[in-house]
Amino acid sequence: MPTSSLETEPYPSELLTRLCTCRHLLVLTGAGVSQESGIPTFRDALDGLWGRFDPAQLATPEAFDADPALIWGWYAWRRAQVLLCEPNPAHRAIAALADRVPRLTLVTQNVDGLHQRAGSPAVLELHRSLHRPYCRDCGYPHIPADPPCDVALDGAPLPPPRCERCRGPVRPGVVWFGESLPADVWEAAETAAWDCDLVLVVGTSALVYPAAELPLTALGRGVAVVQINPDRTDLDDLATFRLRGTAARFLPELVQ
């Protein structure tokens, strides 16, 4: 498969032709698509706003059980940050794309809800959401304050609220490392990877599984995969097209 790497050129005509003729476009996004909204990515986080937190260490059920206030405080602060941000042109372009192709399946690894706020009609949230916490013990949903009123500054520890039904601790509504993805969401995403005829991978380091399997499934079927990312990833050597740049730089051109 030819790979094309672009820095500042327009899209290769072959890619635009494929986009205009595709039947079912699968779009997979990661933290990079929200970076231009001001939300640090996980990779940036290690020296960004979350510098003193290591997401991989904190994003686990064990970390929450060990110190519920530290983890709840970190997620409450992250949610407050997200609510102060707006969708960027990349989110909006993906939302507009849904009207340009016969069928678009949007799968995101992100938990920020920005695709929905940008108007994407259907979003498969593989890792669930910052905005839908629930009881650790009985699963009862907890409606978070909006705007957040309980957020300690800068992610300081904050005791989690108690469940209205069983008084258990409310936990962040995301999928942590070592936890299974919501089965129905993962099944829909896998089905799309087996049915699509073009894949757009935007802003992911392609390191987290099973999400990272999706473009590989499509590639195994001979389907073209386009990667939009300013940096190299494991997908670089496999992608059919590699657009070296940011999501907000490349995606709006697709819907002009």
**Active centre residues (catalytic):** 127
127 near ligand BV8, judged by CB under 6 A: yes
Choose the one of ligand BV8, Zn ion, none that binds residue 131, judging by a C-beta under 5 to 8 angstroms depending on kind: none
Pick out residues in 163-202 that bind Zn ion (CB under 5 A).
163, 165-166, 168
35 near ligand BV8, judged by CB under 6 A: yes
Choose the one of Zn ion, ligand BV8, none that binds residue 204, judging by a C-beta under 5 to 8 angstroms depending on kind: ligand BV8
The torsion angles phi and psi of 94, rounded to 5 degrees, stand at: -65, -40
Query: What's the closest the beta carbon of residue 56 comes to ligand BV8, in angstroms?
Result: 6
171 near ligand BV8, judged by CB under 6 A: no
The annotation status of 88 as a binding-site residue, yes or no, is no
Residue owning tokens 């940008």 = 118
Residue owning tokens 């996980």 = 42
| DSSP secondary structure, 46-98, as one string | TTSTTTT--HHHHSSHHHHHH-HHHHHHHHHHHHHHHHT----HHHHHHHHHT
Q: Identify whether the C-beta of residue 39 lies closer than 8 Å to the C-beta of residue 112.
A: yes
Query: What's the closest the beta carbon of residue 100 comes to ligand BV8, in angstroms?
Result: 20
55 near ligand BV8, judged by CB under 6 A: yes
Pick out residues in 90-149 that bind Zn ion (CB under 5 A).
135, 137-138, 140
C-alpha triplet 91, 96, 101: angle, nearest 5°: 125
Q: How many residues appear in the chain?
A: 256
Choose the one of Zn ion, ligand BV8, none that binds residue 256, judging by a C-beta under 5 to 8 angstroms depending on kind: none
The torsion angles phi and psi of 184, rounded to 5 degrees, stand at: -65, -35
Choose the one of ligand BV8, Zn ion, none that binds residue 175, judging by a C-beta under 5 to 8 angstroms depending on kind: ligand BV8
What CA–CA distances, in Å, run from 253 to 12, 96, 236? 12, 11, 21
What CA–CA distances, in Å, run from 33 to 82, 92, 180? 13, 11, 23
162 near Zn ion, judged by CB under 5 A: no
Smallest CA-to-CA distance from 239 within 208, 195, 194, 202 is with 202
DSSP state of 101: S
Sole binder of ligand BV8 in the list 26, 28, 36, 158 (CB under 6 A): 36
Annotated binding site for Zn(2+): 135, 138, 163, 166
Binding footprint of ligand BV8 on the chain (CB under 6 A):
30-32, 35-36, 41-43, 55-56, 59, 109, 111, 127, 174-181, 203-205, 207-210, 228-231, 233, 246-247
